[in-house]
Structures are given as structure tokens and as C-alpha cells.
């Protein structure tokens, strides 16, 4: 029976180790690319969720203002104008609380006291 030369065994092991090192390097690069792709997709998903929430908030504000008594709502693609002539304290508190507790860009807001119990409100919200 022929003996296997130990140098051949050593050469095969060195080639195997080199192959595995190159393979691990390629996998590391692939993992790095996957992490960067994940970060980009996560950022896009976060922006999309934020935009969906803002859109839902806009729709709920408009629906709330249209259903509330005494409000005149003027809507354009870029803004919404809310106008109410005579609101009592509770109505004014509810409306202002609903608006200020959400993320709206308020361009203009006027509250004018009519008497001890009533006030008028004029507000312009920009999208």
C-alpha cells in the first residue's frame, strides 16, 4: 500500500483554508450590503408610516370639523381653513385640544372673545 505524502495533506489543508477565507470575505461583504439595504428600506418604511398617519390625521380633522356644529370648512389641496363664529368654552377647548395634540402646521390662528361664554375661531392649517 502506498503512503500519502504529508506535504500533499498540508497543501490540501492550506488550499482549503484559503478557499474558506475567501468565502467568508464574500459572505461578510454580502452581509454588509444586506445591512445597508435594510437600513434604507427601514427609513423608507418609517417615512411611509409617518405619511399614512398624517394623511389619516388630516382626514379625521376635516371629518371632525365638518361634523361639529358651527364650523365652516374651506379645503384646498394645500391647506384647510376652519372658521366658527360662536363657540362656547367647551367646544373651543375640544377643537383646540384636538388640533394642538396632533402634528399640524398652523399657518394662522385667531381666537376672538365675543362675550364671557362665547368666542370665534379662525384657523388655517397648511399641509
Q: What tens digit of pLDDT does each residue of 43-93 get? A: 999 999 988 887 777 778 778 777 777 788 888 888 888 888 888 888 888
CA separation for the pair 70, 67 (Å, rounded): 9
pLDDT at position 40 over 90: yes
Question: pTM for the whole thing?
Answer: 0.54
Residues facing 71 on adjacent strands: 84
Q: Residue 87 in 3-state DSSP?
A: strand
* Whole-number pLDDT of residue 86: 83
CA distances 97 to 38, 47, 90, 103, Å, are 38, 26, 10, 12
Strand order in the sheet with 105-113: 71-75, 79-88, 118-126, 105-113
Amino acid at each position: 500500500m502506498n503512503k500519502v505524502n504529508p506535504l500533499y495533506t498540508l497543501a490540501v489543508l492550506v488550499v482549503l483554508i484559503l478557499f474558506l477565507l475567501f468565502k467568508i470575505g464574500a459572505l461578510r461583504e454580502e452581509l454588509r450590503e444586506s445591512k445597508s439595504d435594510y437600513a434604507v428600506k427601514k427609513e423608507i418604511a418609517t417615512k411611509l408610516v409617518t405619511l399614512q398617519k398624517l394623511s389619516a390625521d388630516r382626514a379625521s380633522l376635516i371629518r371632525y370639523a365638518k361634523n361639529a356644529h358651527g364650523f365652516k370648512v374651506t379645503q384646498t389641496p394645500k391647506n384647510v381653513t376652519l372658521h366658527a363664529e360662536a363657540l362656547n368654552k367647551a367646544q373651543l377647548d375640544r377643537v383646540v385640544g384636538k388640533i394642538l395634540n396632533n402634528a399640524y402646521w398652523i399657518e394662522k390662528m385667531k381666537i376672538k372673545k365675543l362675550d364671557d361664554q362665547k368666542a370665534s375661531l379662525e384657523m388655517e392649517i397648511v399641509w
